[in-house]
Amino acid sequence: MRKALSFALASLGLALFASPSNALSNDAAGITPLTSVRVAAGLASPLYVTTPPGDLDRLFIVQQRGLIRILNLATGGVNATPFINLSTKVSSSGSERGLLGLAFHPDYASNGFFYVSYTRASGHASIVERYTVSGDPNVADAASATTIFGPQSQPFSNHNGGCIQFGPDGKLYLGLGDGGSANDPSCNAQNGNSLLGKLLRLNDDGSVPVDNPFVGVAGFRDEIWAYGLRNPWRFSFDRANGDLWIGDVGQNAIEEIDWVPAGSLGGENYGWKVMEGNNCFSTSACTAPPPCNDPSFTDPIHTYSHAGGNCSVSGGYVYRGCGIPSLQGTYFFADFCSTRIWSFEWDGVSQSNFQTRQAELTPDVGSIGNIASFGEDGYGELYIVDLGGELFKIVAVDGDCNGNNIADGCEGSSSTSRNGLGGNPAGFVELTPPVLGASWDTTVDIVTPGALGSIVSISTGGPTSGIMLSGTIAGELLCLPPVVALDVSTGSHSIPIPADCTLIGRTLCAQGSTFVIGQVTLNNAIDITLGSF
């Protein structure tokens, strides 16, 4: 990440963009108003967050000097014991060295493999290691290290890159900067015999995929997937369609966002150092480089200048979460120095709905400072990582419910009530709101004298379609098992709500009943509409 993660913020001003005509106000674009909430603080130089595939309960926080910590999303607390401590291996000097990347194997649930990218303490070379989780899911086996890449020497302390991601093809991608200093003095990014200034593609064991674009090509290393990059500090794959998005840090004038559609065979040349963004830059020390604006270059889809204190792009993610449906397909990115945050949509040809976001994303507590990265949780919700030690979640503005709501009520209240076949329409009381991926705790009035128990079922039909008789549920059941109350005097229930984006906006019928031997009485029912979470 150029110009160091420790740079002080420059004075703020107006940014200049490549496509100013696309800049719309949030109201004009009809986009849901956003804010952010702080979910963790007191961290030590956090650089990145991610989570294993399918893990809805945790976020793994990468700290620059070697610790990976776990944020429990249910409790909001950071585990006291680190997932892994690599501080003795990781470089403790240089603002762009350290533990720089983390990726979980696509089959992590079965094999327990995860990968770390770091600048090692001895010699400051770049390394990628594979580890295995221990018998405790919150603690890694620190003795399980296998080096799958490196050591790759780094001639200078900056531009180490270090982002690692598994692509939709199951391959591990590694971004390396051009070697550092300034102006790529050795022209590494255009040199196919150097791995610096490149995006590499590896098998999960570190071997080279046979379908890499330069396998067997003279003058190119087999590991190379794409080249001509200055410092691809953060890149990501769209979890919905596999498109690749790269935030490549510029030199003194231009920052850029690069994009390649899913299905690319690789081999793209992003132009550095012949080009900085869309501007001609230099061919010094390059051997037979392509000329400026050569058609072989893959141009950025967005650039911005260093006006107003901008200096270093932090590439982000395309939003694919559950909580803010109107943001589907929107790419978020930021500048490290100015702390500006932007978003836009891209259809493969043109940009639309460009937004400046930092004002509306002012958090509830704390302040967003040096944005080192964005990250995703298991639902695809987006987080902002502040190098100063805070972590923020992007959420929709949603009254007093902070996103945890149903259409007709907030926490502690009932939504629309209506009579079931047995009456008592006010019988349901929500102790917690129905939230995707969590448990919905309720109480149901018991009105049948001598009842032996109480059940609650949820379906998409009316009050009769969710009845449980002998373990069979009619209608369209949404993987929500009826719960038999252990205490008929309270009728309390805890019902799991699936983590399924398609449930947002759907109206479900919740039906309570009591039963005695040979008789089932339907007591009450309510309609609930699942909203954001």
Query: Do 176 and 80 lie in a common domain?
Result: yes
User: What percentage of the chain exceeds 70 in pLDDT?
Assistant: 69
469 and 326 housed in the same domain? no
Residue 278 inside a domain? The answer is no
Average pLDDT, 10 consecutive residues per value, the chain (533 residues): 30 26 34 89 98 92 98 92 98 92 97 98 95 98 98 94 97 97 97 98 98 98 98 97 97 97 97 98 96 98 97 96 83 98 97 97 96 94 97 75 26 27 42 64 51 44 33 29 40 60 60 50 55 46
Clarify whether residues 155 and 253 are in a common domain. yes
Question: Which residues, in sequence order, are CB contacts of 227 under 8 Å at separation 6+?
Answer: 189, 190, 192, 197, 198, 199, 268, 269, 270
Please state whether the peptide bond connecting residue 151 to the residue before it is cis, i.e. omega within 30 degrees of 0. yes
207 and 350 together in one domain: yes
Quickly count: other Cβ atoms within 10 Å of residue 58's Cβ: 19
CATH of the domain at 198: 2.120.10.30
Q: How many Å is the maximal CA-CA distance in the chain?
A: 91
Structural domain boundaries enclosing 508: 417-529
Is position 7 within any domain? no
Cβ neighbours, 10 Å, residue 412 = 10
Burial (CB < 10 A; 0-12, 13-18, 19+), residue 260, is buried
Say how many C-beta atoms besides its own lie within 10 A of residue 526's C-beta: 25
| Distance linking the first and last C-alpha atoms of the chain | 34
Closest CA to 511 of 481, 470, 445, 466: 466
290 in a domain, yes or no?
Answer: no
pLDDT of 162 = 96
Global confidence as pTM:
0.77
pLDDT per residue over 212-233, tens digit each?
999 999 999 999 999 999 999 9
The answer to whether residue 200 sits within a structural domain is: yes
Domain count, the chain: 2
Same-domain check for residues 424 and 390: no
What is the 3-state secondary structure of 274-296? CEECCEECCCCCCCCCCCCCCCC
The residue from 396, 427, 462 where one domain ends is 396
Number of Cβ within 10 Å of residue 481's Cβ equals: 15
Residue in 291, 297, 176, 311 with CA at minimum distance from that of residue 233: 176
Phi, psi of 524, rounded to the nearest 5 degrees? -160, 160
Report the C-alpha gap between 111 and 125 in whole angstroms. Answer: 28
Residues 489 and 391 in one domain: no
